[in-house]
Amino acid sequence: MARGAVAVMGAGVAALVAALVLVPLAAVGLRAGAWPALLPGDVQTLWFTLWQAVVSALLSCLLAVPVARALARRRFRGRGALITLMGAPFLLPVIVAVMGLIAVFGRSGLVNGLLSGVGLAPVSIYGAQGVVLAHVFLNLPLAVRMVLQGWQSIPAERFRLADSLGFAPAQVARHLEWPMLRAVLPGAFAVILVVCLTSFAVALTLGGGPKATTVELAIYQAVRFDYDLGRAAMLSGMQFGLCALIAVLAWRAVTPTSFGAGLGRGRLVQARGAGPLVADILAIGLAAAFLLLPLGAIVLRGLPGLAEVPAAVWAAAGRSVTVALVSTGVTVAAALVLALQVAQGGRGAGLMDAVALLPLATSGLVLGTGLFLLVQPWAAPSDLALPVTVAVNVALSLPFVYRLLLPEARVLLADYGRLSESLGLHGAAWLRLVAVPRLARPLGFGAGLVAALSMGDLGVIALFASDQTATLPLVVQRLMAGYRMETAAAAALVLVAISFTLFWAFDAWGRWYAGT
């Protein structure tokens, strides 16, 4: 593709992305005005938001270390399937994950049934402990995958050398494992911290009350219940500043490390002795049970009600699929244009790279609040619920797809750029014959991620939607709020099935197209 065409399209996409993020933030700032002093309740909300995010991220990372180490140094049947499962909660709609946790840890769940059987007092999943539990459930697999990649980056020769030298486990940890963890864990902690700071559906379903309200939930309550747009704007500005500060600190905290070149990466020497073996079995077994029991509970509770799912669920499912497909198409196209432009380099490439990552500093509810303030004087927000949801989904998904495509785009242009120019391949022909076949794998995987995440989104739609524009996650949440748990479980099963089907379809297309 001609450099001029890519540059023009890249500049246009970057301008639209910047406007989509900065204009709503400007609306928030203007509506907040002079920003009145925080009320005692606001201080408590800010404290709980920080506290639950730090505790959730810390627990997720600490628990991930023994699980990742066990997976790195053990080989067993089903290991690959279990590692694949570690990515499932990242795709699982949050509202569905909460339903599964309630089925296991709720008042009439499995855990309380066992506790009452031995004469112990029941535990409550609602409140601060429930918010932390849900965040650990959703983010522990992500932390495990990130730490596992760190372990697999250490050449196996280092472990063989340590074994031949008779290193004790403490010496192996000091010289090999701790340097890797010191480089990997800050990044994993920062990613999970930002996710927990911007989490909305968990706080909406399991939090609430003066002592378990997050900033995101307070924004929703200010708009939806109190219609106090000034307070919502002030809280949105506070949330943006908090996320931006955490992002900057996280970037400064990450320290790279290197163990040099080596062969046999990912083939670690298994620790000898019964003690490490028992510890690894416990770590893998408990992690698998923690992940599988809620998922199994959703399937068991949802199957009986599938035959009686109300028509409103199927209508909401249709709206969700439409939103997901449109969001996927726009996001992938925008990310591809930006990745190709930044990969070409030249003037403005650094600025476009920063713009592509700009949405990471905000959240869906903050953007939704700004868009609500912009459209509210001119139109009924419910009339624009679905277009606004698509726009916010595109903004929040773009950084992930962009980062997937950028390294591959650089390799593509380095290998085929000059050859394409010499053959006169430009425009649509270059995309069809050169770019798409060689970027098909990350394109398919990224499209699958966007589709699954858009299907499960319960953020901005909660601000805008009416009964006629509600998507499937919002319908599930309303069924849960109305204590129609069997119908909610069936609707949640439909949501999970569609989300994973879309992810599988796009990912399979990418792998197939790359092989043709």
264 compared with 507, residue with greater pLDDT: 507
Candidates 269, 257, 401; CA nearest to 335 is 401
Same domain as 288, residue 216: yes
- Using CA atoms, how far residue 183 sits from 146, 178, 213, in Å, is 11, 9, 33
127-181 pLDDT, tens digit each:
888 899 999 998 888 788 778 777 766 666 666 666 666 565 666 666 567 777 7
SS3 content of the chain, % helix, strand, coil (to 5): 80, 0, 20
Query: What is the pLDDT, as a whole number, of residue 92?
Result: 76
pLDDT band at residue 46 using 50, 70 and 90 as cut-offs: confident
pLDDT band at residue 265 using 50, 70 and 90 as cut-offs: very low
Q: How many helices (H) and strands (E) does the chain have?
A: 24, 0
Query: What is the pLDDT, as a whole number, of residue 264?
Result: 47
148 contacts 65 by C-beta, under 8 angstroms:
no
The arithmetic mean of pLDDT across residues 423-427, rounded, is 61
Structural domain count of the chain? 2
pLDDT band at residue 62 using 50, 70 and 90 as cut-offs: very high
Tokens of 24: 């709503």
498 compared with 229, residue with greater pLDDT: 498
Same domain as 291, residue 378: no
Tokens of 145: 């995958």
Q: Residue 278: is its pLDDT beyond 80?
A: yes
Same domain as 343, residue 240: no
User: How many percent of the chain have pLDDT more than 70?
Assistant: 80
Final residue of a domain: which of 241, 271, 296?
Answer: 296
512 compared with 10, residue with greater pLDDT: 512
pLDDT band at residue 261 using 50, 70 and 90 as cut-offs: very low
64-91 pLDDT, tens digit each:
989 888 887 777 777 777 776 666 666 7
Query: What is the pLDDT, as a whole number, of residue 136?
Result: 92
- Using CA atoms, how far residue 314 sits from 66, 98, 492, 493, 495, in Å, is 42, 21, 12, 12, 10
Identify the weakest region by mean pLDDT among 56-60, 264-268, 272-276, 461-465. Answer: 264-268
374 compared with 425, residue with greater pLDDT: 374
CA dist., res. 503 & res. 426, Å (int) = 31
Helical spans, DSSP H, in 74-214: 79-85, 88-91, 94-105, 110-117, 128-152, 156-164, 169-172, 178-197, 201-206
Query: What is the pLDDT, as a whole number, of residue 169?
Result: 62
Query: What is the pLDDT, as a whole number, of residue 467?
Result: 74
pLDDT band at residue 266 using 50, 70 and 90 as cut-offs: very low
Same domain as 205, residue 187: yes
The alpha carbon torsion through 352, 354, 356, 360 (nearest 10 deg) reads -170
487 contacts 308 by C-beta, under 8 angstroms:
yes
Q: Residue 55: is its pLDDT beyond 90?
A: yes
Candidates 195, 180, 183, 182; CA nearest to 56 is 195
Same domain as 243, residue 178: yes
φ, ψ dihedrals at 471, nearest 5°: -90, 175
469 contacts 319 by C-beta, under 8 angstroms:
yes
Query: What is the pLDDT, as a whole number, of residue 178?
Result: 75
Contacts of residue 142, defined as CB under 8 A and 6 or more positions apart, other chains included, come to 60, 86, 87, 89, 90, 188, 191, 192
Same domain as 50, residue 28: no
Same domain as 264, residue 125: yes
Query: What is the pLDDT, as a whole number, of residue 498?
Result: 92
SS3 state at 22: helix
pLDDT band at residue 240 using 50, 70 and 90 as cut-offs: confident
Same domain as 192, residue 171: yes
One-letter identity of residue 406: L
Tokens of 470: 């509600």
Query: What is the pLDDT, as a whole number, of residue 363?
Result: 76
The burial of 296, by beta-carbon neighbours within 10 Å (0-12 exposed, 13-18 middle, 19 or more buried), is given as: middle
pLDDT band at residue 428 using 50, 70 and 90 as cut-offs: low
SS3 state at 180: helix
214 contacts 203 by C-beta, under 8 angstroms:
yes
User: How many percent of the chain have pLDDT more than 90?
Assistant: 8
484 compared with 161, residue with greater pLDDT: 484
Same domain as 315, residue 211: no
Identify the weakest region by mean pLDDT among 76-90, 258-272, 409-423, 467-481. Answer: 258-272
Final residue of a domain: which of 268, 296, 324?
Answer: 296
SS3 state at 200: coil
Query: What is the pLDDT, as a whole number, of residue 161?
Result: 65
- Give first-to-last CA distance, the chain, whole Å: 22
Query: What is the pLDDT, as a whole number, of residue 321?
Result: 94
Identify the domain containing residue 103 by its residue range: 38-296
Identify the weakest region by mean pLDDT among 73-87, 106-120, 260-274. Answer: 260-274
CA dist., res. 129 & res. 135, Å (int) = 10
CA dihedral (273, 279, 285, 291) positive or negative: negative
Final residue of a domain: which of 246, 262, 296?
Answer: 296
Same domain as 186, residue 68: yes
Same domain as 192, residue 52: yes
300-327 pLDDT, tens digit each:
888 887 877 888 889 999 999 999 999 9
SS3 state at 38: coil
- Provide the 8-state DSSP code for 101: H
Q: Residue 284: is its pLDDT beyond 80?
A: yes
Chain-centroid distance, C-alpha 40: 31
Q: Residue 107: is its pLDDT beyond 60?
A: yes
CATH number, domain containing residue 268: 1.10.3720.10
The alpha carbon torsion through 386, 387, 391, 394 (nearest 10 deg) reads 60
Same domain as 95, residue 241: yes
175-213 pLDDT, tens digit each:
567 777 777 788 778 878 888 888 877 887 887 666 778
Tokens of 82: 């279990």
Residue keyed to tokens 């280092």 = 158
Tokens of 214: 């997050």
* Total Cβ atoms within 10 A of residue 469: 18
CA dist., res. 102 & res. 121, Å (int) = 17
381-413 pLDDT, tens digit each:
778 888 888 988 998 888 888 877 887 778 777
Tokens of 213: 């309200």
Radius of gyration of the chain (CA): 24
Q: Residue 293: is its pLDDT beyond 60?
A: yes
